[in-house]
């Protein structure tokens, strides 16, 4: 140690030694910086960074050695062998490449092993460099110092790269120190190993030349190493900037720049987990009403602008405890942490208030409202998904009841909503899978008992609930907007099935009010008839008065067009709705169907019988046949027959079924008195709805 210190102090130009150490430090820092890029890169770019880091480290080591050699004041003449000098640079470079590649592998031992190889390269460079240093004298080497210098180089470099297996700032600083120490220790211990016995005084290179060479080398090295370090810095910055941008894109809504669903759920989960955070939290769901109108009237760009304006307005009501996110479409959500319930009340009031003022946009002014649902951790649990679902259900209730004030989740009220929504979701799947089938209920003439036709009644086979009656799912389909698709399927299915019947009885299809309002209805009916080959006279459509009331003009137009095609029109469920004489007079009905609930009264209520009589007379006057629905008892049949109804439908003559009624049986039942038997013919099934093969013609009884 003393010999090394004496060697530096007595035999070196200390200014150039300082310059060498400066290069060593700068170069080590650059090498560490480049090494971090190697570890972060993969594929071809990793190889590129390995080579760049190796070149930088090798140049730094070589320049340190070269400048330190220039600092050495040899008493004998000195010359440098250019080939060996160059070879020393190439030697360290060749070993630094595999060394760095090895050190950058993600194993616990690879850092030290890679560093050891690089340390070997540094020692090799030094001694090849010393071989290039030709002194006019006798050079003797002390083997102990040589061994110590190699051990120091390998050991310290191994420690430096081992330290880099962790990428903390402290580990990087430690690595820079160790690497610089490895290079300097090798060099000066190696120099202490050399003893020159002077044969001739003087020097080959003048001091001035040495200084000039040293400074030039130092500057050139700094430029090379500096460029490499800067490229590492730029790459690191670009990568972290791209990462930041990607994260911003992944976690934020592109339109409003609000956090998106992923980010919202992450934040909600984080808040729920935070120890010692606010014990109370509210999850708020917002659904915009009337937003669709803006989109439909002014276009999607206008809708987008409105959403951006709304997001900006929502941003102004937030404090550090609240967060608003856009979950998608016109659905927003907020999470609010609070300790005083008043804070929540104020927050919800501000949220509702955000929708009071209309939005003034360039071309228009939009007034939108929000339905707000709230779930609270204190009563609704601390599970993020469950809280969101509960807030959503409460919001759905606010929407169904058209409430502008926030609705808080209520298990009793909202579980029914949940069941409804589940059924709607199942209905969508059923539509895709066509999990429905048509049943037919016979209608017969009074008094002959001749079959006059059938009413088609849809059935849904639910995978877990079994047979779901139409009275339950038709209103659901109307609510979810799926009714037109279902109605089209039913219409086509009935036409195709009826076209295969061996008889020519008419078939009646129930038409939902929304389908009557569909402008493509006429086209749909025409296509169903043409595709199935069913004669238009065999099809009739049943509709209730509620279908007509909504848009009377359109309803009249559509019905007239259908009538012109030869299709029959029946007014269903007469007697329970408006029962308007005006409707009967103005619309082209062929048949009035008296509702079953009304028929149920006639056995005990004289007034009901009088009304029945009036309706039958009205039918006669307006040239419309009157069919009594829900006839279960022979007594009911007797009354409706006596009062002038022209046809019946009911369990007495046949329940809705996949098979058609036997005409003989029907006639017999109609004529039997006083205890007719309900006959239900049950031939083999005609297959499921998924199976598009329809029953063969000889299956149906004539
Ligand atoms: P609706 O059009 O008035 O159909 C008559 C309903 O009365 C049928 O119920 C039928 O099964 C039932 N019914 C017939 N005879 C008797 C009887 O003697 N006693 C009793 N208690 N009931 C009887 P279903 O099939 O459950 O249908 C209920 C309602 O669902 C239908 O009333 C109709 O409004 C609607 N619907 C059924 N199928 C369809 C369809 O394919 N499309 C549309 N849009 N609505 C349908
Ligand atoms: Mg009907
Ligand atoms: Mg009816």
pLDDT digits (tens, 9 = 90+) for 405-414: 899 999 987 8
* Mean per-residue pLDDT, 378-398: 91
**pLDDT band at residue 313, thresholds of 50, 70 and 90?**
very high
Given this model, what pLDDT does residue 99 score? 93
Of 262-271, 478-487, 670-679, least confident by mean pLDDT is 670-679
Which residue's CA is minimally distant from atom 28 of ligand 1? 471
> Which atom number of ligand 1 is nearest to the Cα of residue 652?
18
Of 100-104, 141-145, 359-363, least confident by mean pLDDT is 359-363
Q: Which of 358, 384, 409 is the last residue of a domain?
A: 409
Q: Which ligand is nearest to the CA of 570?
A: 2
Residue 332's domain comprises 261-409
Instruction: Please write the tens of the pLDDT for every residue from 166-190.
Output: 878 898 899 999 999 998 898 888 8
Of 200-209, 411-420, 428-437, 602-611, least confident by mean pLDDT is 200-209
Query: Would the pLDDT of 226 be above 90?
Result: no
Given this model, what pLDDT does residue 37 score? 83
In a domain, 695, yes or no: no
Is the same domain home to 349 and 383? Answer: yes
CATH number, domain of 665, equals 3.20.20.450
Query: Would the pLDDT of 367 be above 80?
Result: yes
**pLDDT band at residue 690, thresholds of 50, 70 and 90?**
very low
Given this model, what pLDDT does residue 635 score? 93
Given this model, what pLDDT does residue 689 score? 33
Instruction: Please write the tens of the pLDDT for every residue from 637-674.
Output: 999 999 999 999 999 999 999 999 999 999 988 886 63
- 690 Cα to the center of ligand 1, angstroms: 23
Instruction: Please write the tens of the pLDDT for every residue from 87-122.
Output: 888 988 899 999 999 998 888 888 899 999 999 999
Calculate the CA 380 to chain-centre distance. Answer: 25
Given this model, what pLDDT does residue 3 score? 67
- 544 Cα to the center of ligand 3, angstroms: 8
First to last CA, the chain: 118
Q: Which ligand is nearest to the CA of 630?
A: 1
Given this model, what pLDDT does residue 200 score? 62
Is the same domain home to 392 and 463? Answer: no
Which residue's CA is minimally distant from atom 10 of ligand 1? 656
In a domain, 631, yes or no: yes
Mutate to test the pocket of ligand 1, among 444, 493, 510 (most ligand atoms within 8 A of CB): 510
> Which atom number of ligand 1 is nearest to the Cα of residue 595?
3
Given this model, what pLDDT does residue 214 score? 65
Helix (H) or strand (E) holding 700: none
Is the same domain home to 189 and 269? Answer: no
> Which atom number of ligand 1 is nearest to the Cα of residue 438?
41
Is the same domain home to 401 and 437? Answer: no
Is the same domain home to 43 and 155? Answer: yes
Instruction: Please write the tens of the pLDDT for every residue from 613-630.
Output: 999 999 999 999 999 999
In a domain, 661, yes or no: yes
In a domain, 557, yes or no: yes
Query: Would the pLDDT of 701 be above 50?
Result: no
Of 211-225, 260-274, 336-350, least confident by mean pLDDT is 211-225
> Which atom number of ligand 1 is nearest to the Cα of residue 515?
44
Strands 507-510 and 539-543: parallel
Q: Are 324 and 331 in contact (CB under 8 A)?
A: no
Query: Would the pLDDT of 442 be above 60?
Result: yes
Instruction: Write b or e for each residue in 356-385: b if 16 or more Cβ atoms lie within 10 A of its Cβ, otherwise e.
Output: eeebeeeeeebebbbbbbbbbbeebeeebe
Is the same domain home to 385 and 494? Answer: no
Neighbours of 296 (CB within 10 A): 10
Q: Which of 363, 385, 409 is the last residue of a domain?
A: 409
Which residue's CA is minimally distant from atom 4 of ligand 1? 457
Is the same domain home to 67 and 186? Answer: yes
> Which atom number of ligand 1 is nearest to the Cα of residue 656?
11
**Which residues are in the CB-under-5-Å shell of ion ligand 2?**
510, 542, 572
- 400 Cα to the center of ligand 2, angstroms: 28
How many angstroms separate the Cα of 27 from the Cα of each of 16, 32, 48, 163, 308? Answer: 16, 9, 18, 17, 51
- 593 Cα to the center of ligand 2, angstroms: 8
Given this model, what pLDDT does residue 297 score? 82
Instruction: Please write the tens of the pLDDT for every residue from 157-166.
Output: 999 999 988 8
- For residues 57 and 48, give the distance between their C-alpha atoms in angstroms, rounded to a whole number: 14
Which residue's CA is minimally distant from atom 44 of ligand 1? 512
Given this model, what pLDDT does residue 72 score? 77
Domain count, the chain: 3
* Mean per-residue pLDDT, 372-385: 92
Is the same domain home to 11 and 81? Answer: yes
For 537, residues 6+ apart whose C-beta sits below 8 A from its C-beta are 506, 566, 567, 568
Is the same domain home to 498 and 435? Answer: yes
- For residues 578 and 589, give the distance between their C-alpha atoms in angstroms, rounded to a whole number: 16
Q: Which ligand is nearest to the CA of 573?
A: 3
Is the same domain home to 612 and 509? Answer: yes
- For residues 80 and 72, give the distance between their C-alpha atoms in angstroms, rounded to a whole number: 13
- 629 Cα to the center of ligand 3, angstroms: 7
Closest by CA to 661, choosing from 679, 644, 635, is: 679
In a domain, 141, yes or no: yes
CATH number, domain of 299, equals 3.30.70.270
Mutate to test the pocket of ligand 1, among 440, 458, 470, 574 (most ligand atoms within 8 A of CB): 470
Given this model, what pLDDT does residue 276 score? 60
Query: Would the pLDDT of 234 be above 80?
Result: no
Which residue's CA is minimally distant from atom 24 of ligand 1? 470
Nearest 5°: the CA angle 695, 696, 697 is 120
> Which atom number of ligand 1 is nearest to the Cα of residue 483?
44
- 592 Cα to the center of ligand 3, angstroms: 10
- 579 Cα to the center of ligand 2, angstroms: 16
Which residue's CA is minimally distant from atom 12 of ligand 1? 630
Q: What is the dihedral of CA 52, 58, 62, 64, to 10 degrees?
A: 80
How many alpha carbons lie under 13 Å from residue 435 in its C-beta half-sphere?
18
- 655 Cα to the center of ligand 1, angstroms: 10
In a domain, 417, yes or no: no
In a domain, 355, yes or no: yes
Neighbours of 579 (CB within 10 A): 17
In a domain, 392, yes or no: yes
Q: Which ligand is nearest to the CA of 492?
A: 1
**pLDDT band at residue 193, thresholds of 50, 70 and 90?**
confident
Which residues sit with their C-beta closer than 6 Å to ligand 1? Answer: 441, 456-458, 469-471, 474, 487, 490, 510, 512, 542, 572-573, 596, 629-632, 649-651, 656
**pLDDT band at residue 687, thresholds of 50, 70 and 90?**
very low
| Mean of the per-residue pLDDT values of the chain | 86
* Mean per-residue pLDDT, 223-252: 73
* Mean per-residue pLDDT, 549-562: 92
Q: Are 114 and 161 in contact (CB under 8 A)?
A: yes
Query: Would the pLDDT of 692 be above 60?
Result: no
Query: Would the pLDDT of 270 be above 80?
Result: yes
- For residues 210 and 73, give the distance between their C-alpha atoms in angstroms, rounded to a whole number: 10
- 365 Cα to the center of ligand 3, angstroms: 46
- 542 Cα to the center of ligand 3, angstroms: 8
DSSP string, 85-114: HHHHHHHHHHHHHHHHHHHTSSSTTHHHHH
**pLDDT band at residue 291, thresholds of 50, 70 and 90?**
confident
Query: Would the pLDDT of 554 be above 50?
Result: yes
Which residue's CA is minimally distant from atom 2 of ligand 1? 510
Is the same domain home to 360 and 464? Answer: no
Q: What is the dihedral of CA 150, 152, 158, 164, to 10 degrees?
A: -140
**pLDDT band at residue 675, thresholds of 50, 70 and 90?**
very low
Instruction: Please write the tens of the pLDDT for every residue from 584-606.
Output: 989 999 999 999 988 899 999 99
- 676 Cα to the center of ligand 3, angstroms: 23
Is the same domain home to 366 and 267? Answer: yes
Given this model, what pLDDT does residue 236 score? 67
Given this model, what pLDDT does residue 593 score? 96
Mutate to test the pocket of ligand 1, among 431, 442, 457 (most ligand atoms within 8 A of CB): 457
- 470 Cα to the center of ligand 1, angstroms: 7
């Amino acid at each position: 140690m003393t010999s090394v210190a004496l060697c530096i102090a007595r035999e070196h130009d200390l200014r150039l030694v300082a310059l060498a150490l400066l290069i060593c430090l700068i170069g080590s820092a650059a090498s560490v910086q480049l090494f971090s890029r190697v570890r972060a890169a993969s594929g071809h770019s990793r190889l590129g960074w390995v080579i760049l880091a190796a070149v930088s480290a090798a140049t730094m080591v070589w320049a340190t050695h070269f400048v330190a050699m220039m600092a050495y004041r040899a008493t004998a003449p000195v010359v440098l062998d250019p080939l060996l000098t160059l070879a020393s640079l190439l030697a360290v470079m060749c070993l630094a490449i595999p060394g760095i590649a090895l050190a950058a592998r993600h194993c616990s031992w690879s850092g030290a092993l890679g560093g050891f190889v690089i340390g070997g390269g540094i020692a090799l460079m030094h001694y090849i460099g010393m071989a290039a240093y030709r002194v006019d004298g006798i050079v003797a080497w002390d083997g102990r110092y040589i061994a110590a210098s190699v051990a120091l180089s390998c050991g310290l470099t191994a420690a430096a790269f081992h330290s880099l297996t962790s990428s903390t700032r402290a580990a990087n600083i430690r690595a820079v120190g160790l690497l610089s120490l490895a290079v300097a220790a090798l060099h000066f211990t190696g120099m202490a190993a050399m003893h020159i016995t002077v044969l001739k005084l003087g020097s080959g290179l003048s001091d001035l030349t040495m200084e000039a060479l040293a400074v030039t080398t130092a500057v050139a090295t700094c430029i090379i190493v500096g460029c490499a370090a800067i490229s590492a810095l730029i790459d690191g910055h670009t990568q972290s900037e791209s990462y930041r941008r990607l994260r911003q894109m992944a976690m934020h809504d592109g339109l409003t720049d609000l956090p998106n669903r992923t980010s919202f759920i992450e934040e909600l989960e984080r808040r729920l987990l935070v120890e010692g955070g606010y014990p109370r939290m509210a999850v708020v769901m917002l659904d915009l009403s009337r937003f669709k109108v803006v989109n439909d009237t002014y276009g999607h760009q206008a809708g987008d602008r409105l959403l951006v304006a709304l997001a900006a307005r929502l941003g102004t009501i937030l404090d550090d405890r609240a967060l608003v996110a856009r979950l998608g479409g016109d659905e927003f959500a907020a999470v609010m942490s609070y300790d005083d319930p008043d804070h929540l009340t104020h927050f919800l009031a501000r949220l509702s208030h955000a929708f009071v003022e209309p939005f003034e946009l360039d071309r228009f002014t939009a007034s939108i409202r929000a339905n707000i649902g709230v779930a609270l951790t204190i009563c609704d649990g601390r599970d993020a998904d469950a809280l969101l679902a509960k807030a959503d259900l409460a919001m759905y209730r606010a929407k169904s009841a058209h409430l502008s004030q926030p609705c808080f989740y209520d298990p009793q009220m909202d579980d029914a909503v949940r069941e409804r929504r589940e059924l709607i979701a199942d209905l969508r799947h059923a539509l895709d899978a066509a999990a429905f089938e048509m049943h037919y209920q016979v209608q017969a003439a009074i008094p002959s008992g001749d079959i006059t036709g059938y009413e088609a009644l849809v059935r849904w086979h639910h995978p877990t609930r079994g047979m779901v009656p139409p009275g339950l799912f038709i209103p659901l389909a109307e609510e979810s907007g799926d009714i037109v698709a279902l109605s089209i399927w039913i219409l086509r299915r009935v036409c195709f099935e009826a076209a295969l019947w061996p008889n020519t009885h008419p078939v009646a299809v129930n038409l939902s009010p929304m389908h009557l309002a569909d402008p493509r209805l006429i086209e749909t009916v025409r296509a169903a008839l043409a595709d199935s080959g069913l004669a238009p006279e065999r099809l009739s459509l049943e509709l209730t008065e509620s279908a007509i009331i909504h848009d009377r003009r359109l309803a009249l137009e559509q019905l007239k067009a259908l009538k012109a095609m030869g299709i029959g029109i029946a007014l269903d469920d007469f007697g329970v709705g408006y029962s308007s004489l005006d409707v009967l007079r103005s619309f082209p009905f062929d048949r009035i169907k008296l509702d079953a609930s009304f028929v149920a009264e006639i056995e005990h209520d004289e007034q009901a019988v009088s009304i029945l009589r009036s309706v039958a007379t009205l039918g006669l006057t307006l040239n419309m046949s009157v069919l009594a629905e829900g006839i279960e008892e022979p007594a009911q049949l007797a009354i409706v027959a006596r009062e002038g109804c022209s046809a019946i439908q009911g369990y007495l003559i046949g329940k809705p079924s996949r098979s058609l009624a036997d005409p003989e049986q029907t006639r017999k039942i109609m004529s039997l008195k006083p205890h007719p038997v309900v006959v239900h013919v049950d031939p083999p099934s005609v297959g499921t709805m998924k199976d598009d093969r329809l029953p063969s013609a000889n299956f149906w009884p004539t």
